[in-house]
Amino acid sequence: MRWLYVALLSVGTVFAETIAAPCEDETCPAFEKNSHGVTRTDSVPEDVKSASDPYFEGYLQALVDMHYAEYGVIVLVKKKKVWLANLPKNNMIAKSIISFVKDVPGIQNVYVIEGVPPQEEELREKYVRRPQTTGIWFPQMTELFQPCIADPRNVTYILGYRAGDQVIGPKVANIALGDDFAIYRWIDVMYGGDLQIGIEAGIWSVFNIDPHPNIDGGTELVNTDFYVGLPITYARDKWSFRFRVYHISSHLGDEYMVNHPTVKRKNPSNEYIDFYTAYQINDAIRVYVGPGVIVHSDPTFKWQPMFIDYGAEARFLGYKFYYQKVYGTLFLAMHWRNLQQLSWDFDGTYRFGYEVSKLQGIGRKLRLFVGFHHGYSLEGQFQKMRTHYWEFDMNYGF
């Protein structure tokens, strides 16, 4: 992990980028071209950079369609000025498209419009108003409801180390394998937003690196949780929502049961329903809240039904690594939960780290972070036991 962190810090000279609010006509301030270093598309052939407007327009349209095909964004070019029409209603995705286009060499200004520039109305109206797709199967690039990155039960890929866990052990390796598989997305529905249905699946495993007693020797698998869920998500402007039905079941590890033969195995197995609401306050700060209910729990490990999760995320000091063609930003994330079963006591997870992605704001990301958890364990039949620990993790996912 350390070598990757050092490598990221040693990557060339980087420069800050500020995303301006969308403009709707030529009187608004334009997005200025960043002239520092090379850009993401510096490898664009010279004949494209100096091409006529129709040729350049076709090239930009192809770039946008390659990465954002499901949104049917229209690119218009005149004298190297660019107008973007039919941007998605999701504010975060729209700004990511603007930033994506802004990087292309040769662009003077970028404007956001509804329809087309007045002087182009007669010529381009039929093209811009062409029938748009009502939905897309298996969208890959974007998530309508962004993951809560400080949530210890975020469905993602993690390789990490915990120090000082009072329940699992003072030296713990934690592994998560999980993903969100989008099935279908409806475009421009329900007041102009996007609606998506998908499937989530994942596992979380914890290993005691230095168990006592240790009958067989080696590392001890303590617990594995299995998850499957059906999320329905919706996003419009700065708002996003997720309704989810899901199941989590837990299983003690064989090595743990060998080392602790007197432990009575229980069967934590629950079905949940929750509903999350998230609001993007500005480019940097996001808040969310998600009440839920446990609709069924196994008789060997009963739970009272009500719970609520909530949290906040802040991203700052974003930079573009031009040579590597990636975008990086620091982040601070906090996630809290209160459960009726645990007398509504506070349970919190706090994470600080660095996030790297190919496109700003959306797509899959690599995160390196340090975190602190204070509250209750999340592992199987240990969930009603209090603990706290530090964590050092590498995460890949949305």
**Given 3-state DSSP classes, what are the helix, strand and coil percentages for the chain, each rounded to the nearest 5?**
15, 45, 35
pLDDT confidence bin for 133, thresholds 50/70/90? low
- Nearest residue to 235 (alpha-carbon basis) of 306, 170, 186: 186
Encoding tokens for residue 106?
């040769």
374 or 37: which leads in pLDDT: 374
CATH class entry, domain 16-132: alpha beta
CA–CA separation, 63 vs 65, rounded Å?
6
Are residues 318 and 329 in contact, defined by beta-carbon separation less than 8 angstroms? yes
Q: What is the per-residue pLDDT for 63?
A: 81
**b/e 264-285 (16+ beta carbons within 10 angstroms → b):** eeeebbbebebebebebeebee
Least confident interval from 66-70, 71-75, 126-130, 221-225: 126-130
Local confidence band at 362 (pLDDT 50, 70, 90 cut-offs): confident
| 137-397 maps to CATH 2.40.160.40 | yes
Instruction: Report the percent of the chain where pLDDT is more than 70.
Output: 81
Q: What torsion, rounded to 10 degrees, do the Cα atoms 316, 240, 398, 317 define?
A: -10
The secondary structure of 306-338 as a DSSP string is: EEEEEEEEEEEEEEEETTTTEEEEEEEEEEEEE
Q: Which helix (H) or strand (E) holds 349?
A: strand 347-357
- Give the pLDDT score at 118: 55
Listed in order, strand segments (DSSP E) in 48-192 are: 74-78, 81-85, 109-112, 135-137, 157-165, 169-189
Element of type H or E holding 341: none
Write the CB contacts of 231 (distance below 8 Å, at least 6 apart in sequence): 145, 180, 197, 198, 199, 200, 242, 243, 244, 246
- Region 285-310: mean pLDDT is 95
| Residue 27: per-residue pLDDT | 38
Q: State residue 14's pLDDT score.
A: 33
- Indicate the burial class of 223 (C-beta count within 10 angstroms; 0-12, 13-18, 19 or more): buried
pLDDT of residue 91 exceeding 50: yes
Instruction: Residue 153: name the closest of 386, 387, 383 by CA.
Output: 383
**What pLDDT is attached to residue 125?**
53
Give the span between the Cα atoms of 7 and 390, in whole angstroms: 24
Instruction: Quickly list DSSP for 146-182.
Output: ---TT-TT-SSEEEEEEEEETTTEEEEEEEEEEEEEE
First to last CA, the chain: 20
Q: What is the mean pLDDT of residues 293-305?
A: 94
pLDDT at 389 over 80: yes
Angle 250-251-252 (CA atoms, 0-180°, nearest 5)? 130
Sign of CA dihedral 339, 341, 344, 345: negative
The 10s digit of each residue's pLDDT in 29-49 is 333 333 333 344 444 555 555
| Residue-averaged pLDDT of the chain | 81
What is the model's pLDDT at position 83?
A: 83
Give the confidence band of 107 by pLDDT, cuts at 50, 70, 90: confident
Average pLDDT on 121-147 reads 68
Average pLDDT of span 59-72: 79
Q: Tokens representing 40? A: 């993401």
Q: How many CA atoms lie within 13 A of 176 on its CB side?
A: 23
Least confident of 34-43, 129-138, 147-156: 34-43
More confidently predicted of 113 and 257: 257
Mean pLDDT of 268-272: 95
pLDDT(201) > 50: yes
* Domain spans, the chain: 16-132, 137-397
Query: Looking at residues 131-137, what average pLDDT do you find?
Result: 71
Contact 305, 340 (CB under 8 A): yes
Place of tokens 């964004």: 73
Contact 73, 87 (CB under 8 A): yes
- Tens digit of pLDDT for each residue in 242-267? 999 999 999 999 899 999 888 888 98
What is the C-alpha separation between 387 and 372, in angstroms, rounded? Answer: 11
Instruction: Using alpha carbons, select from 186, 112, 176 the residue that is nearest to residue 144.
Output: 186
